[in-house]
Structure 1
């Protein structure tokens, strides 16, 4: 198995610090309830939900082709418990775990906490990423220079697609492009979201592009550069870097990126600074650090849009942040210790699923109490775990950013 050099190896031990077609867009708008009089249908099987609000009118400033938000005051309004889109509502509930050192994906049944399938993939799979239309899961085989598609309806892998250095994968809010975070190549590669053919390659000067999130209007996105401790601001439509800044911490290693529900504040986890940077994305001014715990890494939003779960990989804990007050309200510790990394929230919002990067296991945590419900053995080096399916109208990529 090919290995990264220490500068690029994301399995570094703690001791070493480690165009969707227009028809599809219209269909999604219809699903969201933008037709006369309607909210989308409730797909929760056994728990009646209030009617979904109709999306607001598209603003002139929105990225062309982007589905209008359901609520401009809450970017995650489409992600409420059980509200699965028609194209995913019949998919079996599964947890997909890429094992970077085993070159496999472990598939877990969340009801039994058991691995029910192990899928061989390419070399060093980093993340399992839902496609923009939510019909395909893409396994990012970084050192294998390929993507492996998985059909979430059958759980079967398809024909591998050649893509160079796909450390991470995102999709523009209008579904027009897939964006490959080519970390070692120092490139943002805009590709066709279906065929993955290159549309434009954007060289960057920072090292280790890895995670991102999009503004409320979809016009720009913020990218973290792990190995040079920098942030980039990128114009989505022009496919051009418009801003770059060095984080004010010696040896900073920014990781996951997440925008607040109101679209005003950005949070960037930093595993070296042991906290999250709080940033105004519009002004792109110097951010402030909010300490959370050793090895801050992954960021996940609760189903009611009130809290953010922050994984502290270096100390085996999860911090809770209140979006309204921007204050930490609690901390959960993995039973018996662990290395919580990446993951996602269950469809009903009751369980936070996380990979245990250095312990070859997966954690299931009760989101009401923080209790460790299960520790499930998987392959070596589990990383960008995807919970699937999840509520939402379309995917922006990573392990599941839905709006």
Structure 2
């Protein structure tokens, strides 16, 4: 439950006698000054004391040179329960749920802000963007934003692209002020997105129309809009090409960023949904939500290496410091923790229809 904390303020009334000696008055004033300065109780040294005049500047200099250490992040896995309107937070070391925070209606995806200070959570039918502290997991605030189903910050930290699946729109915002810069009509059901490495172009899949479109981020101009296959979803810019999970088929389409044409198809388990590159760049993973598999590909050749059977609708993936993969299981109300070497996994209960997931093990420090 989300609780707000506050302070109670009170007054201390000191009764004094009508007549107070000058010595008592001066002593009280000195004690008050000491308390305000945060000094130890006791008689202050005279202003002419050379030791005080020497140590005070030294202490101030040491304080400036040796600031207090930054708070370490608690090991938190954030899971968005889209059908429960909640966010579950787990200690990813003990795998126990720490808390469950309510949102408005339907949280699906999340992203860390470019400065690493906030974790943005899109509540799509609630038309709200919630901000959490990525270190402590506490709720900070929220703003009104239209249909934030998917959200992606650009690599250069200047833009936020929001795919509005229900409203057939793609919105590009200023990533700092959240001012709307461009709104692009996208028929229909814009789903997932990814940027070119230089942030100049964002690529968005259109689920219902079976297309992939490229948009110039600075102007909002549509560069191209081409067919890619039935029900495209996940998009990943990888090694100079665009990978698209085409859910209505058994393949990942490999597209040319210049004009969007399909170069080749990588045939995998039926229903490839989303695509992820592990932190070391050693493998590409593709979740096949419908068939219940996670496919592991060679990052260079995109050849299939392993298929891990993970029933329950594997959807989004993140990677823990111990090398395990955490995957949301949309249809089982669980998260799977998978060993990518053996394929063995355990599950953790969460809310209904878990979708987006993020671990705070890699927060950038500024």
TM-score range, shorter chain: 0.7 to 0.9
Which residue number corresponds to residue 237 of structure 1? 218
1:3-402 alignment runs, 5 A limit: 90-204=72-186, 206-247=187-228, 249=229, 252-260=230-238, 262=239, 264-334=240-310, 337-348=311-322, 350-372=323-345, 374-390=346-362
| 1:7-42 C-alpha deviation (Å, 9 max, x unpaired) | xxxxxxxxxxxxxxxxxxxxxxxxxxxxxxxxxxxx
User: Of Structure 1 and Structure 2, which has the larger fraction of its residues in strand?
Assistant: 2
Instruction: Give the ranges of 4+ consecutive aligned residues of structure 1 lying more than 3 Å apart after TM superposition.
Output: 391-394
d(CA) in 2 for partners of 1:392, 1:311: 27
Asked whether the 8 Å contact 2:158–2:176 carries over to 1, the reply is: no
| 1:172-229 C-alpha deviation (Å, 9 max, x unpaired) | 222222121122222221223234232222223x211121111233221211111111
Asked whether the 8 Å contact 1:347–1:391 carries over to 2, the reply is: no
| 1:218-264 C-alpha deviation (Å, 9 max, x unpaired) | 221211111111100111222211100012x4xx111111122x3x2
Which residue number corresponds to residue 82 of structure 1? none
d(CA) in 2 for partners of 1:258, 1:120: 31
d(CA) in 2 for partners of 1:278, 1:128: 26
Which residue number corresponds to residue 37 of structure 2? none
Asked whether the 8 Å contact 1:306–1:324 carries over to 2, the reply is: no
Deviation at 1:306, TM superposition (A): 2.3
| 1:380-402 C-alpha deviation (Å, 9 max, x unpaired) | 010111122337689xxxxxxxx
Q: Which has the higher contact order (CA 8 A, sep 6+)?
A: 1
Aligned length: 298
Name whichever of 384-393 and 143-152 sits farther off: 384-393
Backbone CA RMSD of aligned residues: 2.0
d(CA) in 2 for partners of 1:164, 1:104: 19
d(CA) in 1 for partners of 2:99, 2:352: 15
Deviation at 1:305, TM superposition (A): 0.9
d(CA) in 1 for partners of 2:363, 2:282: 16
Structure having the higher Rg = 2
What TM-score, normalized to structure 2?
0.77
User: Of Structure 1 and Structure 2, which has the larger fraction of its residues in helix?
Assistant: 2
SS of equivalent to 1:385: strand
d(CA) in 2 for partners of 1:393, 1:221: 26
SS of equivalent to 1:389: helix
Which residue number corresponds to residue 62 of structure 1? none
SS of equivalent to 1:174: coil
| 1:128-154 C-alpha deviation (Å, 9 max, x unpaired) | 221122221111100001011110122
d(CA) in 2 for partners of 1:307, 1:97: 23
SS of equivalent to 1:383: strand
Deviation at 1:88, TM superposition (A): 9.4
Asked whether the 8 Å contact 1:297–1:342 carries over to 2, the reply is: no
SS of equivalent to 2:141: coil
Deviation at 1:105, TM superposition (A): 0.5
| 1:114-134 C-alpha deviation (Å, 9 max, x unpaired) | 211101012111112211222
Asked whether the 8 Å contact 1:96–1:128 carries over to 2, the reply is: no
Which residue number corresponds to residue 9 of structure 1? none
